[in-house]
Chain A
Amino acid sequence: MNLKQIAEEVTAHVVCDKMNWEEIQIETIFASDLMSDVLMSDRDEMLIITSLSTEQSVRAAGIVGAEAVLIANNKTVSDGMIALAKELEVVLLCTPLPKYETCIKIGTIQAQ
């Protein structure tokens, strides 16, 4: 599934995009609020779902080479985060849904 499908499924709006972001294929997904947790993964995580709405989520995404960060729980995204996402070429999305529901919805379309 691609990022556009994911965004639609969880009614997320794009806060920081990049060229052809809609078509980015997402296979591996990681949901966590602790950055060391994200870093411990051996896989190439493509999408990181988190409620931690700080620069660090974007940085951690950059460090592991993720394509996108989805901020859950309707948290506000700062200008600093947007600027950083642009610099590191990470797509930044925001959903009003809580993380649990977000994971379920995405998990369901992934299984299809």
Chain B
Amino acid sequence: MKISTLENIEHFTLLQNSYTDKTIQTGYTSDLLSDVMAHAAEDAVLITIQAHKNTIAVASLVGIPALIICNNFPPTSDMLDAAKKEGIAVFQTPENQFKTSHFIAQLLESE
């Protein structure tokens, strides 16, 4: 599904809107950046609470086009700036990583 589909989800807030509307095929749930770097797929949406600049650096390296920050975790301002520069979408949700992972999987399946 396209990243923009997430904009219509009620409990997802779009925090950074300058992004390339790529297609997401799967998700990757992790807060350990080394994990993300080693195992995440290119067309995955990253589900995490690591809301700082390094996350964007890793996402950019792997080719991840969008992030969902869970638990309404507050992102740092330099994270959003970096995301804007890289054209990576950043969403925020009050739900936790467990619920969000399941939710994304269901969304992807229904497409």
Q: Which residues of A contact B (CB under 8 A)?
A: 29-34, 37, 40-41, 49, 51-52, 73, 98-100, 103-104, 106-108, 111
**B97 adjacent to A104 (CB under 8 Å):** no
Determine the distance from Cα of A111 to Cα of B109 in the docked complex, in whole angstroms. Answer: 16
Q: Which residues of B contact A (CB under 8 A)?
A: 26-32, 35, 39, 44, 47, 49-50, 71, 73, 96-99, 101-102, 105
Contact A107 to B98, CB < 8 A, known contacts A37-B71, A98-B39, A100-B47: yes
Most chain B beta carbons < 10 A, residue from A98, A100, A108:
A100
Interface class of chain B by DSSP: mixed
**B27 adjacent to A33 (CB under 8 Å):** no
Determine the distance from Cα of A30 to Cα of B96 in the docked complex, in whole angstroms. Answer: 7
Contacts of A41 in B (CB 8 A): 96
Given A37-B71, A41-B96, A98-B39, 6 further pairs, Cβ under 8 A: A32-B49, A51-B35, A99-B29, A100-B26, A100-B44, A103-B97
Contacts of A104 in B (CB 8 A): 101-102, 105
Report the minimal beta-carbon distance from B66 to chain A, rounded to whole angstroms: 14
A35: nearest chain-B partner, CB-CB: B31
Total number of A-B contacts with CB less than 8 angstroms? Answer: 66
Interface class of chain A by DSSP: mixed
Identify A33's interface contact among B32, B71, B101, CB under 8 A. Answer: B32
Contact A31 to B29, CB < 8 A, known contacts A73-B35, A98-B39, A107-B99: yes
Identify A49's interface contact among B26, B39, B44, B98, CB under 8 A. Answer: B98
Report the minimal beta-carbon distance from B17 to chain A, rounded to whole angstroms: 25
Contacts of B47 in A (CB 8 A): 100
**A100 adjacent to B71 (CB under 8 Å):** no
